[in-house]
Structure 1
Amino acid sequence: MSAVLPAAGPARQLASVTLAATVGKGIFLTAGVLFFTRAVHLPVVRVGLGLSIAGAVSLVTGVLAGHLADRRGARGAYVAALAIGALATFGLLAARDFLSFLILVTIAVSAQAAGMVVRGPVINEIAGDRPQALRAYVRATTNVGISAGAALAGWAVQHDTVTAYRWLIVANGTFLLLAAALAIRLPRVRVTPAPPTASLWVAVRDRPYLALSLLDGILSIQYRVLTVAIPLWIVTATQAPGWTVAAVVVLNTAVVVLFQVRISRDIDTPSLAGRAMRRSGVMFFLACVVISWASGVPAWAAAALLLAGVAVHSVGELWQAAGGFELSNVLAPKHATGQYLGVFGIGMGLAESVGPLLLTSLCIAWGRPGWYVVGALLVSAGLIVPPVVAWAARTPPRVPRAPSAPQASRTIGEVVT
C-alpha cells in the first residue's frame, strides 16, 4: 500500500475528499493574497487585516461546528462546510471593496476551519478503535494536495494577470465543490447521546485539555518556521543558493508523506502521545540550532546545514502531529468529540496568528540568538506535555474510549503519513 492511499473503501474515499479539498487550500495559501491585491486591488495592509479577522472568527466557528457535529452528525456538517467554502470562494470573484472581501473571506476561512474540525469524528467513525493510521494517511494526503495546489498557483503567479488569478479562484472553488460531492458518499457518523448530567460546553471547562491545546499551539509555531522563518533566513542571512528555498519544502513534504503513517500507527495511548510531543520539542530545538548555523558560512555549507536542519525539524513534525492527533481525540468524551476538537484547534489558530510576527522579530530581526530562543520555547512546551497528560488522565470526568485492538490499524492500509 502506498504512503498516501489507504486500503480501498471508506478510508480511501476520505483520502479522495481530502486530496480535492487540500488542492484548493494549496491554491489559496499560495496565491490568495496576490488575488486580493492584484485582482481586487486591495492594499496589502487591508488584506492582512481582513485575513486576521477571518482567522479570529474561525476559532469560534470551529468550536460551534464541532458542537453541531456532535448533535446532528459529522458527515452532514463536513459536507456543508465544504459546500459553503466552495460558494464563498466563488463569491470572492464578485468582491469589489474591503467590506465584501471581509465578509466572503471570513465565511471561506471559517468553513475551512469547521471542515477540519468535523472531519475528526468522520475519521474516528471510519477507522473504529484504531484511527491512528487513517489520521496519518489523511495528513500525508493533505501535504500532497497542498503541494499540487501550490504548483497550480505557480502558473497564475508566472502569468501575473487579473485573468489568471480569477481562474485560480475558479479552480479553488471547483476543487472544494468536488470535495463536497465526494464527501456525500462517506459513511454516516453515529451520534453518541450526551449523558443527562453533561455540561453543554464541557470542552471549554476542561482545564487539562485546554492546557494541552495551548501547548500544542506553541509547538505548532514550528509550521510557521518552515513557511516564514526559513525562507526569510535563507534570502536575508545566508549565502545558500536560491533553489534551497524550494528544496527545504520538497524535503519536508517527502518526509511527511513517506513516514507519517509509520510513525503514527504505534502512538496509540495518551502517555505515548505525550512522550512523542516531548521528543518533538527536542527535535525542534536541535533544528533551530542547526539552521541558525547556516549564517556566515559558504554557500555549500549553508545549503547542507539548512537541509540537515529541516530533516531534523521534519522528524519533530512527525512526532508532534502523531501525538497531537492522539491526545486531541482520545481525551475527548465520545459524545463531545467535535466540540473538543474545535477547542484543540484554537491552539493551532493562535499559532498561525502569532507565529509570523514572533518568528520575524526573533529569528530574522535578532538573528542567531533569536533562533535559540524559539528553540528553547518549543522544547519547553514539549517537556511540559507529559505531566499535563498525566493531569488530564486523573481529572474527572474523563470518559475513556474503548481499548485499542493491537493490530486493528493494519486493516486501514498495510505499511507506510
Structure 2
Amino acid sequence: LNGGLAVGAALGGLALHAGTRSAYLSVFALDAVAFLGCALILGRLPAVAPAAGPAGGGPGLAVLRDRPYALLALLNALMLLRMPLLSLALPLWIVERTAAPGWTVSALFVLNTGVVTLFQVRAARSVTDLATAARAVRWSGAVMCAACAVFALSGAVSGALSGGLPGSLPGSSPEFGRGAGAGAVGAAVAVLVLGAVLQVLAEMRHSAGAWQIGFALAPADRIGQYQGFYGTGVPVARTLGPLLVTTLLIGWGMPGWLLLGGVFLVAGAATGPAVRWAEAAR
C-alpha cells in the first residue's frame, strides 16, 4: 500500500513540476491503466467459499456497552486525524501559507510512505503487550504535537524571510510565498521536512500501538464485532477530519496548529489510563 502511494506521489510531483496539461493527462491515463491491470489480476483469483464456524456469542451490539473499549476507539479516531492532515490540510497549508514550491507536497508524501514501507516493522518490534502499546501511543501523541508546532513554524519562517504576511496568521493571501527568494524557499522546505519526519515517526508508533490495543482487548468470540467498531476510526477521520483540520489550520493558522497538536497530545496521554480501565473491566 505505502509503496504504491509513494510511487503515485512521485509521479504526481513530476506532473506538478511540469505544470502542463499533457503532464496531468498522462498521469491520469497511467492511473487508469494501473487500475485496469489490477482488475485483470484480481479477476483471475479463484472464488473461495466462506468457512463454516460457530457464531460469536453475546448480543450483536455488545461492543457499544463496553465503555472502556468505546473510549479507546474514540481516542484512536482522534489520533487518526493525522490522515487528512497529510493528504489534505498540509498540502493546502504549503500552497497558501508558505514559500515552499508545490512539488514539496509530493516530496513529503513520498517521504512519509517510503519511511513507513521501510521501517514500520522495525518500529513495531518493541510493542509486545498492552503496556508497551500504551506507551507507544502516548509517545506518538507527544511527537505529533511537536510536528504540528513545526508545521506552524513553516508559515512564520516563510513570512519572516520573504517580507510578506506571516503565513501562520488567518487571512494570509493565497498568493503568499509566490516569488519568494531562495532563502525563504529553502527554509520553508527544511522546516516542512522536519515536521514530516516527526509525523511519520509518530504515525509508525501509533499504528503499532493501536493494532495491539485493538486486538488484545477484543473478546476471542467477538473479535470481528470489536475490530469492526475499533476500525471505524479510519472512516470517521477521513469523513469528518477534512472539515475539522482545514477549519483549524487554514482558517485559524498557527493557533489552529497548536490546538490540533494539543488534541494529539491529550489523546495519546489518555490512552494509557483507558487501557488500564479496559484491562480492569475484563
Alignment TM-score > 0.5, same fold: yes
Kindly indicate whether residue 243 of structure 2 is the aligned counterpart of residue 352 of structure 1: no
Deviations 1:117-142 (A, max 9, x none): xxxxxxxxxxxxxxxxxxxxxxxxx2
Tell me the residue number matched to 2:74: 214
Kindly indicate whether residue 4 of structure 2 is the aligned counterpart of residue 145 of structure 1: yes
Residues 179 and 202 (structure 1 numbering): CA distance in 2 closer, same or farther, change over 3 Å? farther
Identity of aligned residues (%): 37
- How many Å separate the matches in 1 of 2:82 and 2:108? 14
Residues matched between the structures, number: 249
Candidates 20, 25, 35, aligned match of 1:159: 25
Moved more, 352-361 or 202-211: 202-211
Deviation for aligned residue 1:176:
4.8
* Contact 1:192–1:334 under 8 Å retained in 2: no
Kindly indicate whether residue 88 of structure 2 is the aligned counterpart of residue 261 of structure 1: no
| Aligned pairs (5 A) from 1:3-402 | 142-148=1-7, 158-159=24-25, 164=29, 168=32, 171-172=34-35, 174-176=37-39, 178-179=41-42, 181-182=44-45, 191=53, 194-195=56-57, 198-295=58-155, 296=159, 297=161, 298-396=184-282
Q: Identify unmatched segments of 5+ residues in structure 1.
A: 1-141, 397-417
Deviation for aligned residue 1:152:
7.5
- How many Å separate the matches in 2 of 1:329 and 1:375? 27
Deviation for aligned residue 1:327:
1.0
So what's the TM-score if we normalise by structure 1?
0.54
* Contact 1:282–1:379 under 8 Å retained in 2: yes
- How many Å separate the matches in 1 of 2:146 and 2:253? 16
Deviation for aligned residue 1:303:
0.6
Residues 255 and 160 (structure 1 numbering): CA distance in 2 closer, same or farther, change over 3 Å? closer
In structure 2, what residue type is equivalent to 1:376?
A: G
Deviation for aligned residue 1:267:
0.7
Residues 384 and 177 (structure 1 numbering): CA distance in 2 closer, same or farther, change over 3 Å? farther
Deviation for aligned residue 1:311:
0.1
Tell me the residue number matched to 1:403: none
Residues 345 and 177 (structure 1 numbering): CA distance in 2 closer, same or farther, change over 3 Å? farther
SS of the residue 1:277 aligns to: helix
SS of the residue 1:293 aligns to: helix
- How many Å separate the matches in 1 of 2:203 and 2:62? 29
Tell me the residue number matched to 1:60: none
RMSD over aligned Cα atoms: 2.9
* Contact 2:148–2:257 under 8 Å retained in 1: yes
In structure 1, what residue type is equivalent to 2:247?
A: S
The structure showing larger relative contact order (alpha-carbon pairs under 8 Å, at least 6 residues apart) is: 2
In structure 1, what residue type is equivalent to 2:275?
A: V
- How many Å separate the matches in 2 of 1:251 and 1:364? 23
- How many Å separate the matches in 2 of 1:252 and 1:230? 13
SS of the residue 2:120 aligns to: helix
Residues 352 and 156 (structure 1 numbering): CA distance in 2 closer, same or farther, change over 3 Å? farther
In structure 2, what residue type is equivalent to 1:246?
A: S
In structure 1, what residue type is equivalent to 2:126?
A: D
- The structure 1 segments of at least 4 consecutive aligned residues displaced by more than 6 Å after TM superposition are 151-157, 187-190
* Contact 1:228–1:356 under 8 Å retained in 2: yes
SS of the residue 1:359 aligns to: helix
Deviation for aligned residue 1:150:
5.7
Deviation for aligned residue 1:340:
1.1
- How many Å separate the matches in 2 of 1:347 and 1:303? 31
Tell me the residue number matched to 2:181: none
Residues 224 and 184 (structure 1 numbering): CA distance in 2 closer, same or farther, change over 3 Å? same
SS of the residue 1:267 aligns to: coil
Residues 183 and 313 (structure 1 numbering): CA distance in 2 closer, same or farther, change over 3 Å? farther
In structure 1, what residue type is equivalent to 2:119?
A: F
- How many Å separate the matches in 1 of 2:281 and 2:201? 31
Tell me the residue number matched to 2:173: none
In structure 2, what residue type is equivalent to 1:389?
A: V
- How many Å separate the matches in 2 of 1:177 and 1:207? 44
Q: Identify unmatched segments of 5+ residues in structure 2.
A: 16-20, 162-183
